[in-house]
Amino acid sequence: MAWQPTDTGKGVAVNSGTAENIKWVDFNVTYEALCMAYDWDVRTYGEEIHVNWIELLAYLGTKYGGDFKTHAKSLEKDMNQVANQLIQKEITIEKLTREMKYYSYYRQAYGAVLEGMVGEYSVCVSKEEGKWEQRYGLTAYSPIAKGFEYSHFDDFGASRSYGYKRQHLGHDMMGQVGTPIIAVESGYVEAIGWNQYGGWRVGIRSLDGKRYYYYAHLRQNYPYAQGLEEGSLVTAGDVIGYMGHTGYSATENVNNIKVTHLHWGLELVFDEERRAQGYEIWVDVYPLTQFLYKNRSEAIKVEGTKEWKRKEEIRIPSVEAEKEAQGER
């Protein structure tokens, strides 16, 4: 990582080059910026010029040196101006960013965080008739099921001392024991079971391999959704487990966390070899948590059990392709 001038003349720590060369990402896109860019993307879907929300954010990220908070007052004006220029064919994103030396970095970095969160999907509107309705929008979900309350604040980077002194590289959402935990994005279960720090936890890798979602401190005795195991294919919005306060113990199934909460984190993977060596890139998901509140998966109780299941069935093209591929194996 090096200190480089931005296109505004200010400085910012960046990594240039290909995705394999990216060693760190500071994802400082605000909730407001995510909402505005998303609205432009959805609003222009199906139109002659479709404004890509990631490209819009990457352009502004380059212009702002990644610091969206400092430019909060001009954000709406800046975003609307460039979006309208694109829609009216006054300029293309390629021409707009041609002279921006670090646009490629921001496009790769923001894309690594946000790819797979917006796109086409289908919703089952009538099981009896087998009727599905195609839609476009968020294909990622809040990690807490709809109707279940929680509290949270931006705690990324806070100090932790159990085991050894370190930074908190995730986001804590405080709630009640047994609250259904939802898969933020579709993917495969890469890790599941007990961890001394995270207690009962599950790690899910996105289908493109770029994102690793970590959900920790799940419920004692009954942490996971029935049938969930390493290698399971999960669809965004599925119930994957239940909130608890396990962890901080070398002994399995122990409640040593004082406050009931979900810890969820997002790790970006650009280089598998570096990751295997212990070099990890975790990003602050607080603004994403706020943003994903727009899309909460409703869960219904399975009578006579401790299980909850998602209410709304959806089909996401990438997941359906994986299912077809599995059937061919």
Give the pLDDT score at 128.
84
- 68 and 15 fall within a common domain: yes
Residue 121 is assigned to a structural domain of this protein? no
Quote the CA–CA distance of 29 and 71 in Å, as a whole number.
11
Residue 87: DSSP 8-state: H
Give the pLDDT score at 161.
53
- 203 and 78 fall within a common domain: no
Report residue 108 CA to chain centroid gap.
15
Residue 213 amino acid letter: Y
Is residue 17 over pLDDT 90? no
Quote the CA–CA distance of 35 and 288 in Å, as a whole number.
10
Give the pLDDT score at 11.
34
Residue 53 is assigned to a structural domain of this protein? yes
- 108 and 240 fall within a common domain: no
- 87 and 162 fall within a common domain: no
Encoded tokens for 111: 């894309």
- 279 and 158 fall within a common domain: yes
Q: What is the pLDDT of residues 245-262, one digit of tens each?
A: 999 999 999 999 999 999
Is residue 207 over pLDDT 70? yes
Residue 171 is assigned to a structural domain of this protein? yes
**CATH number, residue 175:** 2.70.70.10
Residue 7's Cβ-count burial label (10 Å; 0-12, 13-18, 19+) is middle
- 32 and 91 fall within a common domain: yes
Other residues' Cβ atoms within 10 Å of the Cβ of residue 278: 6
- What Cα–Cα distance (Å) separates residue 45 from each residue in 72, 120, 307? 26, 10, 37
- 268 and 178 fall within a common domain: yes
Residue 142 is assigned to a structural domain of this protein? no
pLDDT band for position 329 (cuts 50, 70, 90): low
Residue 63 is assigned to a structural domain of this protein? yes
Give the pLDDT score at 51.
98
Is residue 74 over pLDDT 80? yes
Residue 281 is assigned to a structural domain of this protein? yes
Residue 120 is assigned to a structural domain of this protein? no
Report residue 309 CA to chain centroid gap.
21
Other residues' Cβ atoms within 10 Å of the Cβ of residue 143: 27
- 54 and 108 fall within a common domain: yes
Give the pLDDT score at 248.
93
* Mean pLDDT, range 98-111, rounded to an integer: 96
Among the three residues 92, 114, 136, which one is the final residue of a domain in this structure?
Answer: 114
Mean pLDDT value across the chain: 91
Q: Which of 207, 202, 189, 80 is nearest to 140 (CA)?
A: 207
Quote the CA–CA distance of 180 and 108 in Å, as a whole number.
33
For the entire predicted model, the pTM comes to 0.91
Is residue 292 over pLDDT 60? yes
- 313 and 263 fall within a common domain: yes
Is residue 1 over pLDDT 50? no
Residue 107 is assigned to a structural domain of this protein? yes
Which residues 6+ apart lie within 8 Å of 13 measured at CB? 1, 2, 3, 4, 24, 26
Residue 218: DSSP 8-state: B
- 110 and 203 fall within a common domain: no
Residue 176 amino acid letter: Q
- Whether 31 contacts 75, CB under 8 Å: no
* Mean pLDDT, range 20-26, rounded to an integer: 83
Q: What is the span of the domain harbouring residue 41?
A: 2-114
Q: What is the pLDDT of residues 262-281, one digit of tens each?
A: 999 999 999 999 999 999 99
Is residue 4 over pLDDT 80? no
- Whether 68 contacts 29, CB under 8 Å: yes
Among the three residues 93, 114, 135, which one is the final residue of a domain in this structure?
Answer: 114
Q: Supply φ then ψ for residue 36, to 5 degrees.
A: -65, -45
pLDDT band for position 165 (cuts 50, 70, 90): low
* Mean pLDDT, range 137-142, rounded to an integer: 98
pLDDT band for position 211 (cuts 50, 70, 90): very high
- 187 and 323 fall within a common domain: yes
- Whether 214 contacts 181, CB under 8 Å: no
- 166 and 220 fall within a common domain: yes
Residue 20: DSSP 8-state: G
Burial 173-196 (b: 16+ CB within 10 A, else e): bbbeeebbbbbbbbbbbbebebbe
- Give 115 or 158, the one with higher predicted confidence: 115
Total number of domains in the chain? 2
